Chain A
Amino acid sequence: MESAERRITRRTFLDYLLGAGLLGLAGIVLYPLTRYLIPPKVTEVTGGSVIAAKVGELAPNSGKIFPFGGKPAILINTPDGQLRAFTAVCTHLACTVQYRPDLAHIWCACHDGHYDLRGQVISGPPPRPLEEYQVTVKGDNIIVSRKG
Protein backbone atom coordinates (compact mmCIF):
# COMPACT_ATOMS: atom_id res chain seq x y z
CA MET A 1 0.00 0.00 0.00
CA GLU A 2 2.71 2.41 1.08
CA SER A 3 5.00 1.45 -1.76
CA ALA A 4 2.18 1.90 -4.23
CA GLU A 5 1.50 5.33 -2.84
CA ARG A 6 5.17 6.20 -3.13
CA ARG A 7 5.18 5.02 -6.67
CA ILE A 8 2.23 7.19 -7.46
CA THR A 9 3.90 10.23 -5.91
CA ARG A 10 7.04 9.47 -7.74
CA ARG A 11 5.13 9.21 -10.95
CA THR A 12 3.29 12.45 -10.45
CA PHE A 13 6.55 14.10 -9.52
CA LEU A 14 8.09 12.81 -12.74
CA ASP A 15 5.08 14.05 -14.68
CA TYR A 16 5.36 17.49 -13.14
CA LEU A 17 9.04 17.64 -13.92
CA LEU A 18 8.42 16.43 -17.43
CA GLY A 19 5.72 19.06 -17.90
CA ALA A 20 8.09 21.76 -16.67
CA GLY A 21 10.82 20.43 -18.94
CA LEU A 22 8.59 20.46 -21.99
CA LEU A 23 7.43 23.97 -21.09
CA GLY A 24 11.05 25.09 -20.83
CA LEU A 25 11.77 23.36 -24.12
CA ALA A 26 8.95 25.26 -25.77
CA GLY A 27 10.36 28.44 -24.24
CA ILE A 28 13.90 28.03 -25.48
CA VAL A 29 12.70 27.12 -28.95
CA LEU A 30 9.98 29.75 -29.27
CA TYR A 31 11.90 32.67 -27.73
CA PRO A 32 14.61 32.88 -30.39
CA LEU A 33 12.02 32.19 -33.08
CA THR A 34 9.74 35.08 -32.10
CA ARG A 35 12.69 37.42 -31.64
CA TYR A 36 13.89 36.40 -35.06
CA LEU A 37 10.55 37.22 -36.63
CA ILE A 38 10.56 40.82 -35.37
CA PRO A 39 12.19 42.77 -38.20
CA PRO A 40 15.23 44.82 -37.23
CA LYS A 41 15.60 48.49 -38.17
CA VAL A 42 17.03 48.80 -41.66
CA THR A 43 18.81 51.46 -43.66
CA GLU A 44 19.84 49.29 -46.56
CA VAL A 45 17.52 49.20 -49.52
CA THR A 46 19.31 46.44 -51.35
CA GLY A 47 22.66 44.78 -50.85
CA GLY A 48 24.64 47.27 -52.89
CA SER A 49 22.90 50.43 -51.82
CA VAL A 50 22.18 52.39 -48.71
CA ILE A 51 20.12 55.38 -47.63
CA ALA A 52 22.89 57.91 -47.08
CA ALA A 53 20.76 60.87 -46.00
CA LYS A 54 17.35 62.47 -46.19
CA VAL A 55 16.62 65.04 -48.85
CA GLY A 56 17.35 68.49 -47.43
CA GLU A 57 19.64 67.15 -44.74
CA LEU A 58 22.67 68.35 -46.64
CA ALA A 59 23.02 72.05 -47.47
CA PRO A 60 24.93 72.97 -50.63
CA ASN A 61 28.70 73.09 -50.08
CA SER A 62 28.70 70.45 -47.34
CA GLY A 63 29.41 66.78 -46.91
CA LYS A 64 28.46 63.82 -44.77
CA ILE A 65 30.24 60.61 -43.87
CA PHE A 66 28.08 57.47 -43.82
CA PRO A 67 28.86 53.75 -43.59
CA PHE A 68 28.56 51.83 -46.82
CA GLY A 69 29.43 48.17 -47.04
CA GLY A 70 31.43 48.29 -43.83
CA LYS A 71 33.58 51.21 -44.97
CA PRO A 72 33.11 54.96 -44.65
CA ALA A 73 31.74 56.79 -47.66
CA ILE A 74 31.16 60.49 -48.23
CA LEU A 75 28.10 62.18 -49.65
CA ILE A 76 28.67 65.74 -50.81
CA ASN A 77 26.37 68.47 -51.95
CA THR A 78 28.44 70.65 -54.28
CA PRO A 79 28.24 74.46 -54.09
CA ASP A 80 25.94 74.39 -57.11
CA GLY A 81 23.68 71.85 -55.46
CA GLN A 82 24.70 68.55 -57.06
CA LEU A 83 24.76 65.39 -54.95
CA ARG A 84 27.73 63.10 -55.38
CA ALA A 85 29.08 60.21 -53.37
CA PHE A 86 32.52 58.67 -53.13
CA THR A 87 34.38 56.24 -50.96
CA ALA A 88 35.72 58.19 -48.00
CA VAL A 89 38.83 56.04 -47.76
CA CYS A 90 41.83 58.08 -48.90
CA THR A 91 43.86 56.25 -51.50
CA HIS A 92 47.13 57.22 -49.79
CA LEU A 93 47.05 55.65 -46.33
CA ALA A 94 43.33 54.84 -45.94
CA CYS A 95 42.43 57.77 -43.66
CA THR A 96 38.84 58.98 -43.76
CA VAL A 97 38.50 62.04 -45.98
CA GLN A 98 36.20 65.00 -45.32
CA TYR A 99 34.51 67.82 -47.18
CA ARG A 100 36.12 71.26 -46.80
CA PRO A 101 33.50 73.97 -47.36
CA ASP A 102 36.22 76.67 -47.35
CA LEU A 103 38.03 74.98 -50.24
CA ALA A 104 34.84 73.56 -51.78
CA HIS A 105 36.38 70.16 -52.32
CA ILE A 106 37.28 66.91 -50.57
CA TRP A 107 40.31 66.85 -48.33
CA CYS A 108 42.25 64.32 -46.31
CA ALA A 109 43.57 65.69 -43.06
CA CYS A 110 46.34 63.17 -42.62
CA HIS A 111 48.70 64.31 -45.37
CA ASP A 112 46.84 67.16 -46.99
CA GLY A 113 45.51 65.17 -49.92
CA HIS A 114 43.07 67.16 -52.04
CA TYR A 115 40.40 65.68 -54.29
CA ASP A 116 38.12 67.66 -56.57
CA LEU A 117 34.33 67.37 -56.71
CA ARG A 118 34.71 64.39 -59.04
CA GLY A 119 37.05 62.58 -56.67
CA GLN A 120 40.10 63.22 -58.85
CA VAL A 121 43.39 64.02 -57.12
CA ILE A 122 44.21 67.73 -57.11
CA SER A 123 47.35 67.62 -55.03
CA GLY A 124 49.11 65.81 -52.23
CA PRO A 125 50.28 62.24 -51.96
CA PRO A 126 47.13 60.24 -52.94
CA PRO A 127 48.02 57.96 -55.85
CA ARG A 128 44.52 57.36 -57.20
CA PRO A 129 41.17 59.14 -57.39
CA LEU A 130 38.34 58.25 -55.01
CA GLU A 131 35.87 55.69 -56.37
CA GLU A 132 32.61 57.42 -57.20
CA TYR A 133 29.23 55.96 -56.29
CA GLN A 134 25.84 56.41 -57.84
CA VAL A 135 23.44 58.79 -56.11
CA THR A 136 19.71 58.39 -56.61
CA VAL A 137 17.04 60.52 -55.00
CA LYS A 138 13.92 58.50 -54.37
CA GLY A 139 11.13 60.21 -52.52
CA ASP A 140 12.58 61.51 -49.31
CA ASN A 141 15.73 59.43 -49.42
CA ILE A 142 19.15 59.95 -50.95
CA ILE A 143 20.23 56.48 -51.96
CA VAL A 144 23.86 55.69 -52.71
CA SER A 145 24.81 52.58 -54.62
CA ARG A 146 27.81 51.11 -56.34
CA LYS A 147 28.13 51.96 -60.00
CA GLY A 148 27.16 48.93 -62.04
Chain B
Amino acid sequence: MAEERYGTWQRWSEERLRLRAIVEFLRHKTVPIHRYSFVYYFGGITLFLFLVQVITGILLLLYYRPSADAAYESVQFIMSKVRFGWLIRSIHSWSANLMVGWVFVHMFSTFFYRAYRRPREFTWVSGALMLFLTLAFAFTGYLLPWNKLAFFATKVGTEIAGDVPLVGKYVMLLLRGGEDVTEATLSRFFGIHVAILPALATVILGIHLALVQVHGMSRPISVRAEREISFYPDFLLRDLAVWILVLALLGTLATLYPWPLGEKADPLAPAPPGIKPEWYFLFMFQTLKLLPSKIFLFEGEMVGIMAFLVGGLVLLLVPFLDVWAQREQQNRWVTTLGILAVAYLVIMTILGLALPAM
Protein backbone atom coordinates (compact mmCIF):
# COMPACT_ATOMS: atom_id res chain seq x y z
CA MET B 1 0.00 0.00 0.00
CA ALA B 2 2.72 2.38 1.11
CA GLU B 3 4.89 1.32 -1.80
CA GLU B 4 2.11 1.89 -4.20
CA ARG B 5 1.55 5.40 -2.87
CA TYR B 6 5.26 6.08 -3.08
CA GLY B 7 5.10 4.89 -6.64
CA THR B 8 2.20 7.18 -7.40
CA TRP B 9 4.02 10.12 -5.86
CA GLN B 10 7.11 9.29 -7.86
CA ARG B 11 5.13 9.03 -11.03
CA TRP B 12 3.33 12.26 -10.24
CA SER B 13 6.52 14.19 -9.64
CA GLU B 14 8.42 12.58 -12.50
CA GLU B 15 5.69 13.64 -14.88
CA ARG B 16 6.15 17.23 -13.79
CA LEU B 17 9.74 17.66 -12.62
CA ARG B 18 11.67 15.03 -14.63
CA LEU B 19 14.04 14.52 -11.71
CA ARG B 20 14.82 10.90 -12.46
CA ALA B 21 17.34 11.81 -15.12
CA ILE B 22 19.26 13.95 -12.64
CA VAL B 23 19.18 11.32 -9.91
CA GLU B 24 20.25 8.65 -12.40
CA PHE B 25 23.00 10.91 -13.66
CA LEU B 26 24.31 11.59 -10.19
CA ARG B 27 24.13 7.93 -9.27
CA HIS B 28 26.26 6.94 -12.17
CA LYS B 29 28.65 9.82 -11.95
CA THR B 30 31.99 8.74 -10.49
CA VAL B 31 35.00 10.46 -9.04
CA PRO B 32 38.43 8.99 -9.77
CA ILE B 33 40.60 8.31 -6.76
CA HIS B 34 44.35 8.82 -7.02
CA ARG B 35 47.06 10.56 -5.07
CA TYR B 36 45.95 14.00 -6.22
CA SER B 37 42.29 13.47 -5.42
CA PHE B 38 42.37 15.99 -2.60
CA VAL B 39 42.22 18.84 -5.12
CA TYR B 40 38.68 17.74 -5.98
CA TYR B 41 37.60 19.27 -2.67
CA PHE B 42 38.98 22.68 -3.52
CA GLY B 43 36.12 23.79 -5.75
CA GLY B 44 33.60 22.53 -3.23
CA ILE B 45 35.27 24.56 -0.46
CA THR B 46 35.11 27.67 -2.61
CA LEU B 47 31.45 27.00 -3.30
CA PHE B 48 30.77 26.54 0.40
CA LEU B 49 32.49 29.80 1.28
CA PHE B 50 30.41 31.49 -1.40
CA LEU B 51 27.22 30.06 0.10
CA VAL B 52 28.30 31.27 3.54
CA GLN B 53 28.78 34.72 2.00
CA VAL B 54 25.32 34.64 0.47
CA ILE B 55 23.62 33.62 3.69
CA THR B 56 25.52 35.92 6.05
CA GLY B 57 25.31 38.70 3.47
CA ILE B 58 21.53 38.46 3.36
CA LEU B 59 21.46 38.47 7.16
CA LEU B 60 23.63 41.58 7.33
CA LEU B 61 21.27 43.29 4.89
CA LEU B 62 18.57 43.16 7.54
CA TYR B 63 20.36 45.76 9.66
CA TYR B 64 22.88 47.40 7.37
CA ARG B 65 22.17 50.95 6.12
CA PRO B 66 24.09 52.16 3.09
CA SER B 67 24.57 55.85 3.79
CA ALA B 68 27.58 57.84 4.92
CA ASP B 69 26.12 58.80 8.29
CA ALA B 70 24.54 55.46 9.05
CA ALA B 71 26.73 52.75 7.49
CA TYR B 72 29.42 52.65 10.14
CA GLU B 73 26.93 53.02 12.96
CA SER B 74 24.73 50.27 11.58
CA VAL B 75 27.65 47.84 11.44
CA GLN B 76 28.51 48.89 14.98
CA PHE B 77 24.89 48.27 15.88
CA ILE B 78 25.01 44.81 14.31
CA MET B 79 28.14 43.96 16.26
CA SER B 80 27.00 45.29 19.62
CA LYS B 81 23.23 45.25 19.87
CA VAL B 82 22.01 42.45 17.60
CA ARG B 83 22.31 39.02 19.19
CA PHE B 84 25.05 37.08 17.40
CA GLY B 85 25.53 40.04 15.11
CA TRP B 86 29.24 39.99 15.95
CA LEU B 87 29.35 36.39 14.77
CA ILE B 88 27.50 36.96 11.51
CA ARG B 89 29.54 40.01 10.59
CA SER B 90 32.81 38.45 11.62
CA ILE B 91 32.06 35.28 9.66
CA HIS B 92 31.14 37.37 6.61
CA SER B 93 34.49 39.17 6.77
CA TRP B 94 36.56 36.09 7.48
CA SER B 95 34.76 34.01 4.90
CA ALA B 96 35.28 36.75 2.31
CA ASN B 97 39.01 36.71 2.89
CA LEU B 98 39.25 32.94 2.95
CA MET B 99 37.17 32.80 -0.22
CA VAL B 100 39.46 35.16 -2.12
CA GLY B 101 42.45 33.10 -1.00
CA TRP B 102 40.77 29.85 -1.80
CA VAL B 103 39.68 30.96 -5.25
CA PHE B 104 43.35 31.44 -6.07
CA VAL B 105 44.25 28.05 -4.60
CA HIS B 106 41.46 26.42 -6.60
CA MET B 107 42.54 28.16 -9.77
CA PHE B 108 46.20 27.25 -9.50
CA SER B 109 45.48 23.62 -8.65
CA THR B 110 43.24 23.47 -11.72
CA PHE B 111 46.01 25.08 -13.71
CA PHE B 112 48.84 22.81 -12.64
CA TYR B 113 46.78 19.64 -13.24
CA ARG B 114 45.70 20.99 -16.64
CA ALA B 115 42.05 20.43 -15.77
CA TYR B 116 41.13 23.02 -18.36
CA ARG B 117 41.98 20.79 -21.34
CA ARG B 118 39.38 19.50 -23.75
CA PRO B 119 36.41 19.41 -23.13
CA ARG B 120 36.57 21.63 -20.05
CA GLU B 121 37.68 24.90 -21.65
CA PHE B 122 34.55 26.75 -20.70
CA THR B 123 34.63 25.45 -17.14
CA TRP B 124 37.95 27.26 -16.87
CA VAL B 125 36.69 30.41 -18.59
CA SER B 126 33.65 30.60 -16.32
CA GLY B 127 35.95 29.97 -13.36
CA ALA B 128 38.28 32.77 -14.38
CA LEU B 129 35.27 35.08 -14.69
CA MET B 130 34.26 34.02 -11.18
CA LEU B 131 37.73 34.99 -9.97
CA PHE B 132 37.22 38.50 -11.32
CA LEU B 133 33.77 38.59 -9.78
CA THR B 134 35.18 37.49 -6.43
CA LEU B 135 37.73 40.31 -6.50
CA ALA B 136 34.96 42.75 -7.42
CA PHE B 137 32.87 41.43 -4.52
CA ALA B 138 35.81 41.91 -2.18
CA PHE B 139 36.60 45.40 -3.45
CA THR B 140 33.04 46.69 -3.19
CA GLY B 141 32.27 44.94 0.09
CA TYR B 142 35.35 46.32 1.77
CA LEU B 143 34.03 49.89 1.61
CA LEU B 144 30.59 49.14 3.02
CA PRO B 145 31.42 49.45 6.77
CA TRP B 146 32.60 52.97 5.88
CA ASN B 147 35.65 52.93 8.09
CA LYS B 148 38.80 54.96 7.69
CA LEU B 149 40.99 52.24 6.22
CA ALA B 150 38.38 51.13 3.74
CA PHE B 151 37.61 54.68 2.71
CA PHE B 152 41.17 55.54 1.85
CA ALA B 153 41.96 52.14 0.36
CA THR B 154 38.97 52.62 -1.94
CA LYS B 155 40.24 56.04 -2.84
CA VAL B 156 43.60 54.55 -3.84
CA GLY B 157 41.97 51.60 -5.58
CA THR B 158 39.62 53.67 -7.72
CA GLU B 159 42.50 55.99 -8.56
CA ILE B 160 44.36 53.00 -9.99
CA ALA B 161 41.30 52.20 -12.13
CA GLY B 162 41.49 55.82 -13.29
CA ASP B 163 44.90 55.15 -14.83
CA VAL B 164 43.57 52.71 -17.40
CA PRO B 165 44.32 54.25 -20.80
CA LEU B 166 41.52 56.03 -22.67
CA VAL B 167 38.56 54.88 -20.59
CA GLY B 168 40.21 55.17 -17.16
CA LYS B 169 38.74 58.53 -16.21
CA TYR B 170 35.25 57.36 -17.11
CA VAL B 171 35.68 54.07 -15.29
CA MET B 172 36.75 55.98 -12.19
CA LEU B 173 33.87 58.42 -12.50
CA LEU B 174 31.48 55.52 -12.99
CA LEU B 175 32.88 53.61 -10.00
CA ARG B 176 32.97 56.56 -7.66
CA GLY B 177 29.73 58.09 -8.81
CA GLY B 178 31.50 61.42 -8.95
CA GLU B 179 34.89 63.02 -8.87
CA ASP B 180 35.74 61.76 -5.42
CA VAL B 181 34.93 58.92 -3.07
CA THR B 182 31.76 60.10 -1.35
CA GLU B 183 28.45 58.80 -0.13
CA ALA B 184 27.57 58.33 -3.80
CA THR B 185 30.40 55.79 -4.03
CA LEU B 186 28.99 53.98 -1.03
CA SER B 187 25.56 53.76 -2.69
CA ARG B 188 27.10 52.45 -5.89
CA PHE B 189 29.32 49.94 -4.22
CA PHE B 190 26.38 48.74 -2.17
CA GLY B 191 24.27 48.29 -5.28
CA ILE B 192 27.08 46.51 -7.10
CA HIS B 193 27.84 44.33 -4.08
CA VAL B 194 24.33 43.15 -3.29
CA ALA B 195 22.56 43.24 -6.67
CA ILE B 196 24.73 43.33 -9.77
CA LEU B 197 27.51 40.99 -8.70
CA PRO B 198 25.19 38.40 -7.11
CA ALA B 199 23.11 38.32 -10.30
CA LEU B 200 26.19 37.81 -12.46
CA ALA B 201 27.63 35.30 -10.03
CA THR B 202 24.45 33.25 -10.01
CA VAL B 203 24.48 32.90 -13.79
CA ILE B 204 28.21 32.19 -14.13
CA LEU B 205 28.34 29.94 -11.09
CA GLY B 206 25.34 28.04 -12.47
CA ILE B 207 27.16 27.49 -15.75
CA HIS B 208 30.38 26.57 -13.93
CA LEU B 209 28.66 24.00 -11.71
CA ALA B 210 26.59 22.55 -14.53
CA LEU B 211 29.73 22.11 -16.63
CA VAL B 212 31.54 20.48 -13.71
CA GLN B 213 28.67 18.04 -13.32
CA VAL B 214 28.38 17.33 -17.03
CA HIS B 215 32.09 16.74 -17.57
CA GLY B 216 32.86 15.21 -14.20
CA MET B 217 36.21 15.48 -12.48
CA SER B 218 39.22 15.88 -14.69
CA ARG B 219 42.01 13.39 -14.23
CA PRO B 220 45.49 14.94 -14.32
CA ILE B 221 47.52 13.99 -17.42
CA SER B 222 49.24 10.60 -17.09
CA VAL B 223 47.78 9.93 -13.69
CA ARG B 224 46.05 6.61 -13.45
CA ALA B 225 43.05 6.33 -11.16
CA GLU B 226 43.42 3.65 -8.50
CA ARG B 227 39.66 3.26 -8.38
CA GLU B 228 36.51 5.25 -8.71
CA ILE B 229 33.88 6.17 -6.18
CA SER B 230 30.38 7.28 -6.96
CA PHE B 231 29.67 10.97 -6.69
CA TYR B 232 26.45 10.41 -4.83
CA PRO B 233 26.49 9.67 -1.98
CA ASP B 234 30.16 8.73 -1.41
CA PHE B 235 31.92 11.83 -2.63
CA LEU B 236 29.15 14.16 -1.57
CA LEU B 237 29.36 12.88 2.01
CA ARG B 238 33.08 13.56 2.10
CA ASP B 239 32.49 16.95 0.55
CA LEU B 240 29.95 17.69 3.25
CA ALA B 241 32.39 16.62 5.96
CA VAL B 242 35.00 19.04 4.56
CA TRP B 243 32.43 21.82 4.45
CA ILE B 244 31.60 21.26 8.10
CA LEU B 245 35.28 21.48 8.96
CA VAL B 246 35.52 24.76 7.05
CA LEU B 247 32.50 26.02 9.00
CA ALA B 248 34.27 25.03 12.21
CA LEU B 249 37.32 27.01 11.07
CA LEU B 250 35.18 30.04 10.27
CA GLY B 251 33.46 29.90 13.65
CA THR B 252 36.79 29.65 15.42
CA LEU B 253 38.33 32.55 13.55
CA ALA B 254 35.24 34.71 14.01
CA THR B 255 35.08 34.04 17.75
CA LEU B 256 38.73 34.19 18.66
CA TYR B 257 39.76 36.89 16.19
CA PRO B 258 36.67 39.07 15.66
CA TRP B 259 37.04 41.19 12.55
CA PRO B 260 37.72 44.75 13.76
CA LEU B 261 35.53 47.63 12.60
CA GLY B 262 38.12 50.39 12.97
CA GLU B 263 37.37 54.08 13.07
CA LYS B 264 34.62 55.77 11.17
CA ALA B 265 35.70 57.31 7.87
CA ASP B 266 36.07 61.06 7.80
CA PRO B 267 36.23 62.20 4.18
CA LEU B 268 37.63 65.56 5.22
CA ALA B 269 40.47 64.14 7.28
CA PRO B 270 43.89 63.76 5.70
CA ALA B 271 44.75 60.25 4.57
CA PRO B 272 46.53 58.38 7.34
CA PRO B 273 50.07 57.40 6.39
CA GLY B 274 50.70 53.87 5.18
CA ILE B 275 47.39 53.26 3.51
CA LYS B 276 47.41 49.94 1.67
CA PRO B 277 44.70 48.01 -0.09
CA GLU B 278 43.58 44.64 1.27
CA TRP B 279 46.11 41.85 0.94
CA TYR B 280 44.53 40.40 -2.21
CA PHE B 281 45.19 43.60 -4.14
CA LEU B 282 48.64 44.14 -2.71
CA PHE B 283 50.43 42.45 -5.61
CA MET B 284 48.94 44.99 -8.03
CA PHE B 285 49.56 47.88 -5.66
CA GLN B 286 53.16 46.84 -5.04
CA THR B 287 53.88 46.28 -8.73
CA LEU B 288 52.58 49.72 -9.66
CA LYS B 289 54.69 51.22 -6.91
CA LEU B 290 57.86 49.50 -8.03
CA LEU B 291 57.45 50.49 -11.67
CA PRO B 292 59.47 53.51 -12.77
CA SER B 293 57.41 56.59 -13.48
CA LYS B 294 58.26 56.39 -17.18
CA ILE B 295 58.65 53.29 -19.35
CA PHE B 296 59.76 54.36 -22.82
CA LEU B 297 57.21 56.97 -23.74
CA PHE B 298 54.44 55.81 -21.44
CA GLU B 299 53.57 56.40 -17.85
CA GLY B 300 54.76 53.56 -15.66
CA GLU B 301 51.41 53.12 -13.92
CA MET B 302 49.60 52.94 -17.23
CA VAL B 303 51.97 50.27 -18.52
CA GLY B 304 51.47 48.30 -15.32
CA ILE B 305 47.72 48.47 -15.58
CA MET B 306 47.83 47.45 -19.23
CA ALA B 307 49.99 44.51 -18.23
CA PHE B 308 47.41 43.46 -15.64
CA LEU B 309 44.62 43.73 -18.19
CA VAL B 310 46.63 41.59 -20.64
CA GLY B 311 47.40 39.21 -17.78
CA GLY B 312 43.68 38.91 -17.04
CA LEU B 313 42.97 38.19 -20.69
CA VAL B 314 45.71 35.55 -20.82
CA LEU B 315 44.26 33.97 -17.71
CA LEU B 316 40.84 33.84 -19.32
CA LEU B 317 42.23 32.21 -22.46
CA VAL B 318 44.59 29.71 -20.82
CA PRO B 319 42.83 26.62 -22.23
CA PHE B 320 43.16 27.93 -25.77
CA LEU B 321 46.74 29.06 -25.39
CA ASP B 322 48.08 25.85 -23.86
CA VAL B 323 47.89 23.81 -27.07
CA TRP B 324 50.08 21.07 -25.58
CA ALA B 325 47.53 20.26 -22.91
CA GLN B 326 44.95 19.77 -25.64
CA ARG B 327 47.22 17.02 -26.94
CA GLU B 328 47.43 15.49 -23.43
CA GLN B 329 50.97 16.72 -23.02
CA GLN B 330 52.40 18.47 -19.99
CA ASN B 331 54.49 21.31 -21.33
CA ARG B 332 57.30 22.21 -19.00
CA TRP B 333 57.19 25.86 -19.99
CA VAL B 334 53.53 26.19 -19.09
CA THR B 335 54.28 24.73 -15.67
CA THR B 336 57.24 27.07 -15.25
CA LEU B 337 55.06 30.00 -16.24
CA GLY B 338 52.51 28.97 -13.62
CA ILE B 339 55.18 28.68 -10.94
CA LEU B 340 56.54 32.09 -11.91
CA ALA B 341 53.03 33.54 -11.63
CA VAL B 342 52.59 32.06 -8.15
CA ALA B 343 56.04 33.26 -7.10
CA TYR B 344 55.28 36.72 -8.44
CA LEU B 345 51.98 36.92 -6.55
CA VAL B 346 53.51 35.66 -3.31
CA ILE B 347 56.63 37.84 -3.45
CA MET B 348 54.75 41.00 -4.38
CA THR B 349 52.19 40.39 -1.64
CA ILE B 350 54.91 39.82 0.95
CA LEU B 351 56.75 42.92 -0.24
CA GLY B 352 53.51 44.88 -0.05
CA LEU B 353 52.95 43.68 3.50
CA ALA B 354 56.50 44.27 4.63
CA LEU B 355 57.38 47.58 2.99
CA PRO B 356 56.00 50.87 4.23
CA ALA B 357 53.33 52.21 1.90
CA MET B 358 54.61 55.73 1.30
Contact = CB atoms under 8 A, between A and B. Distances in A.
Given A25-B244, A46-B65, A36 B73 contact: no
Contacts of A29: 247
A32 interface: yes
Contact of A47 (B59, B71, B83, B85): B71
Interface class of chain B by DSSP? helix
A46 B69 contact: yes
Interface stretch (A37-45, A52-60, A109-117, A131-139): A37-45
Interface in A14-47: 25, 29, 32-33, 35-40, 42, 44, 46-47
Contact of B73 (A25, A32, A44): A44
B88 interface: yes
Contacts of A38: 83
Contacts of A32: 83-84, 87-88
Interface size class of A (residues with CB under 8 A): 10 to 19
Contacts of B247: 29
Contact of A42 (B59, B69, B81, B85): B81
B70 interface: yes
A36 B70 contact: no
A42 B59 CA distance: 18
Contacts of B70: 46-48
A76 B59 CA distance: 39
Contact of B74 (A33, A36, A40, A47): A47
A48 B67 CA distance: 11
Interface of A: 25, 29, 32-33, 35-40, 42, 44, 46-48, 69, 146
